[in-house]
Structure 1
């Protein structure tokens, strides 16, 4: 089999949203931008607010049974109960961070919400958060609650390093819950991920609430008329059990979505590859007593920060959709709920003396950036409170539930628009092979901005004027001509395996041949992103059994992030590719004989 060249006639990069809108909107609306809704679906409000002056409305208390020899007959019969877990008998408990002198003033800034959420970990009398066993029982209980056309299925997507099941819940009105059924439904799929970091429990508790409300009779169930939803409440069960940030082997899961060195990251990659979600929301928490307090003596004021993907070569219209279709409505929903929100920002990790805030990493390593390179709307939301133990827990969960349900609602309202934009971006990305330039490395734009924070002594706002690296507008540092694809030696099998997990298409060379290619040569010292390279073009013989990774495919920009040797996430610098000579940039359509890979 020979490789066909990219599709000719690529639309120009000046195509506007209004041009895309004409493909599907009524003639009277052709002039409206695609980012203006052609229609919307009425949905029930979520969560229901309690009138001012009344007591909080208790949510339906239907947590999972704890199981074990002391389970009641009522629980065994299927009526779900919760038993308080005394301190010390559940997962490791973190000590609450002291809020220094102005604790009372700070409490007034973060009152409890007008709704009360209930999961096993939020039950009265609890000290421990929802355990891994309770989480599984909760998901299986609601998956078994069948009614009408709604189908729910618990997927065992893998095992953690300590053998705990990694679980996802599929909620749909398709004919089944398998990949083919969801694909045939014509409805886009949304993936919600929680607790990649084990010491960020509010995200998992909130996703258990979302899972329940997607079940028959739940407030979010009507959304399944238009979308499918997959919920992964806890991506790091080992870290949750130990009360630690990282995975059992000390790896940060959220930095492993390109390398896929851990079974937890591989499980999430397979899930995304198979179900192809059009939107991915990754829920986190951040510390209150963090760098702002250490460096400037103030505390963060936002209940939730929101950020989209910020790495080079992202599909520009999907990023625009993330900003206008998701982030803006999410901010309005949080404001309406009385919750403060801000665009995501943080001090760069690994730089303890850094004084510049960043709006996100440019590295293709975290879930937000990798899923953005997969042509999905990719968001990270992070609530305040990773170091608060159970303090303000209901409010933290409320912030997540409000934001997550807003993301689901946005997908319902923009389902057809999203499919049109993703289809365009997939074709456009594939058609760029052999053309123009790509960005290997980029940095944020330097800005000066005011940040409102909280004075811990008084509880009042205090403005800070700080320098920012805005990664929402990237400045290219290194550019190169975009190749037609990459050749990899047979010795790069580890890289091939990871690329296939990510969903990348590739071919195996069936007969020896030659390709016009640029080979890499290192100039001077340096490694990884600091590596200095020169390129040398020539006709190169390639043997049978080696591989070709074409860029004439929708995931081309993900391939670039992995295979250019001097990107931040380079497979070469992380030793998935042994030597510079094991990779070539193929600069002309190869005249080779290929065989498809299983």
Structure 2
């Protein structure tokens, strides 16, 4: 698509200022009472366990230093103090779940602009809680949406063995409640979910209590942890979502490359098929670039996010995945600027903890200030992108599946003996430019059989508009037929996903048909802002689809609708 075409389309929905700002980007494209909608059925739960009642030393905290003093000297402690339980004298571990609950209540009770958002419970019965910061006197989701101020969502510790983000979000919550960041609330609302996986945090392991990786569950919604985030995003519709993680410092990188990880922060925005182009430009120019400058000013280093598989013989380095399953990518398909930030922390216990937390604080503070500075433009951007995505129904092509672009990259790491920089030329899968692997004409929508209430429930929890057939009629479309299948596992750039079940890898044949649609069946239109998310869920022949993961049992229970239906439809409330 030409830049002139983009300009003419944008001008219909954006102010000249916002369009100029976007097109002037220099970088290449690379369980509170809900506002409405359904509640997901209870997720599979293990036997509940009580949270740790006191600050206990973690198993990680006692780990031996994983490298020598020369390497450690590259990461001096910053001259800052943080008011979180983990940094109190005599505290040998990280902030416990009980301590976090107490801190959040202290913050809320101490200020007029904050309220606690109870989101339900984890699989082990630990409260899932966020805090909303807003100047709006009515703090209900509907009222916050009407306030005119855009909302930012900050999420921490989706992976339980990555604690620095949670500690940093406590720091930021205090600053928003009555510190250096409180003035930002004149222009933005902020929701902080400091610990998205409390069971994993207590056990100090990556996954949730059921063994499912919460950060690969944002489309399928099998865990209450992912469901809580989906409801937050559905009800508050944030324009910016930032997901705080930590990454492996030694481990397989030392084994494969004879080197130690160098960077304080690894950063990447959403990179998945059908992502709106202007969302990517805003992520780069309005957020990533200012954040890099803020880190540099504080003597902190950064690089694109990257990882490598657990196979020691696989020397390839990959940027963050392109699948529509992570919070980063799913929130991008919800038309939010969606950014991942990771600090060097997995496997090193409390080593360099203050520096790790400082990195998150600086980066997240930059993101918040950028959002406040761009608050009016972000509102206009979201309005334009929502309308533009909805307008694409029934026309053009949609990418059903995409992958990264293989390339080479010079990556800076550290020599484990000397601590000096060590440049490596590596095979690099870039997610900044995607390769379409499978495309189809964009449908007008999808038909679902009347017995597909589970799929409908998940779609509605994600925020998707679903309509129900009120009178029998006919729809023009394409029906699916399986031509081949294999059973396997979901994969990402690290290897097999901790997922709790096998998936069906199917090949399908599409046949044009006039379909009799009975009363009670469903229609999911693509003439809505979350159309690209619908495609990810309902095109059956990808590893993340509802069909591949058993939510939809048979491809005959869904179909593509290729003309705007004339049947009577009622929007589900």
What is the TM-score with the length of structure 2 in the denominator? 0.89
**Residues in 2 aligned to 1:19 and 1:315: alpha-carbon distance in whole angstroms:** 12
> Partner of 1:129 in structure 2?
94
Offset, 1:360: 1.4
How far is 1:99 from its partner?
2.4
Query: Which of 168, 171, 178 is the matching residue for 2:140?
Result: 178
**Structure 1 position 419, deviation (Å):** 1.2
In structure 2, the residue matched to 1:80 is none
- Native 8 Å contact 1:209 1:401 kept in 2: yes
Question: CA–CA distance in 2 between the matches of 1:234 and 1:595?
Answer: 38
2: CA distance between counterparts of 1:503 and 1:219?
Answer: 34
Matched, 1:161 2:123: yes
- Residue number in structure 2 paired with 1:569: 544
Alpha-carbon offset, residue 352 of structure 1 = 5.0
Residues 25, 281 of structure 2: 8 Å contact kept: no
- After superposition, residues 34-433 of structure 1 pair within 5 angstroms as 85=55, 89=56, 93-96=60-63, 98-100=65-67, 103-146=68-111, 150-216=112-178, 218-348=179-309, 351-433=311-393
Q: Distance in 2 between matches of 1:505 and 1:544?
A: 18
Specify whether residues 567 and 35 from structure 1 end up closer, same or farther in structure 2 by C-alpha distance, changes over 3 A only. farther
After superposition, the C-alpha distances for 1:145-166 in whole angstroms (9 at most, x for unaligned) are: 13xxx51001111100111110
Partner Cα distance (1:532, 1:291) in 2: 35
Instruction: Answer yes or no: is the 8 Å Cα contact 2:7–2:19 preserved in 1.
Output: no
3-state secondary structure, aligned to 1:490: coil
Whether the aligned pair in 2 keeps the contact of 1:94 and 1:243 (CA below 8 Å) is no
Contact 1:520 1:536 in 2 (8 A): yes
2:369 partner SS: helix
Which whole-Å deviations, capped at 9, do the CAs of 1:220-263 have from their partners, x for residues lacking one? 11111110000000001111111111101111000100000011
Instruction: Please give the secondary structure, in 2, of the residue aligned with 1:169.
Output: strand
Is 1:579 the counterpart of 2:546 in the alignment?
no
The CA distance in 2 between the partners of 1:206 and 1:172, in whole Å, is 20
Equivalents in 2 of 1:111, 1:414: separation in Å? 34
Paired with 2:380 and 2:177, the residues of 1 have a C-alpha distance of: 29
Counterpart position of 1:76: none
Among 508, 516, 531, the residue aligned to 2:506: 531
Change (3 A) 1:153 1:577: same
Equivalent residue, structure 1, for 2:422: 462
Corresponding pairs, count = 534
Shift of 1:294: 1.4
Instruction: Confirm or deny that 1:495 pairs with 2:484.
Output: no
CA contact (8 A) 1:162 1:248 kept: yes
- Give the secondary structure class of the aligned counterpart of 1:300: coil
Deviations 1:549-571 (A, max 9, x none): 00000000000000000123100
Per-residue deviation at 1:90? 5.6
Name the CA distance, whole Å, in 1 between partners of 2:52 and 2:523: 52
Q: Is the Cα–Cα contact under 8 Å of residues 18 and 34 in structure 1 kept in the other structure?
A: no
Match of 1:516 among 463, 473, 476: 476
CA contact (8 A) 2:14 2:384 kept: no
- CA drift at 1:493: 1.2
In the TM superposition, residue 181 of structure 1 has moved relative to its aligned partner by 2.4
* C-alpha deviation, 1:13, in angstroms: 8.2
| Alignment partner, residue 480 of structure 1 | 440
Structure 2, unmatched stretches of 5+, are: 27-50, 488-502
1:15 aligns with 2:3: no
**How big is each residue's C-alpha offset from its partner over 1:127-173, in whole Å with a ceiling of 9 and x where there is no partner?**
12111111111111111113xxx510011111001111100011111
User: In 2, Cα distance between the equivalents of 1:12 and 1:586?
Assistant: 31
Q: What residue in structure 1 maps to residue 518 of structure 2?
A: 543
Matched, 1:560 2:560: no
Query: Structure 1 CA distance, aligned partners of 2:434 and 2:514?
Result: 35
Q: How much has 1:31 moved relative to structure 2?
A: 6.0
Contact 2:466/2:523, CA 8 A, preserved across alignment: yes
Offset at residue 36 of structure 1 (A): 7.0
Instruction: State the SS of the aligned residue for 1:552.
Output: coil
Note closer, same or farther for the CA distance 1:34–1:410 as it changes in structure 2 (3 Å cut).
farther
Distance 1:485 1:493 in 2: 17
Instruction: Give deviations 1:45-76, integer Å, cap 9, x for gaps.
Output: xxxxxxxxxxxxxxxxxxxxx999xxxxxxxx
Cα separation, 2, equivalents of 1:97 and 1:374: 42
- 1:139–1:154 contact (8 Å) kept in structure 2: yes
Look up the match of 1:72: none
Which protein shows a greater Rg? 1
Question: Which residue in 2 is equivalent to 1:452?
Answer: 412
**Contiguous gaps of at least 5 residues in structure 1:** 1-10, 38-65, 69-83
CA contact (8 A) 2:160 2:198 kept: yes
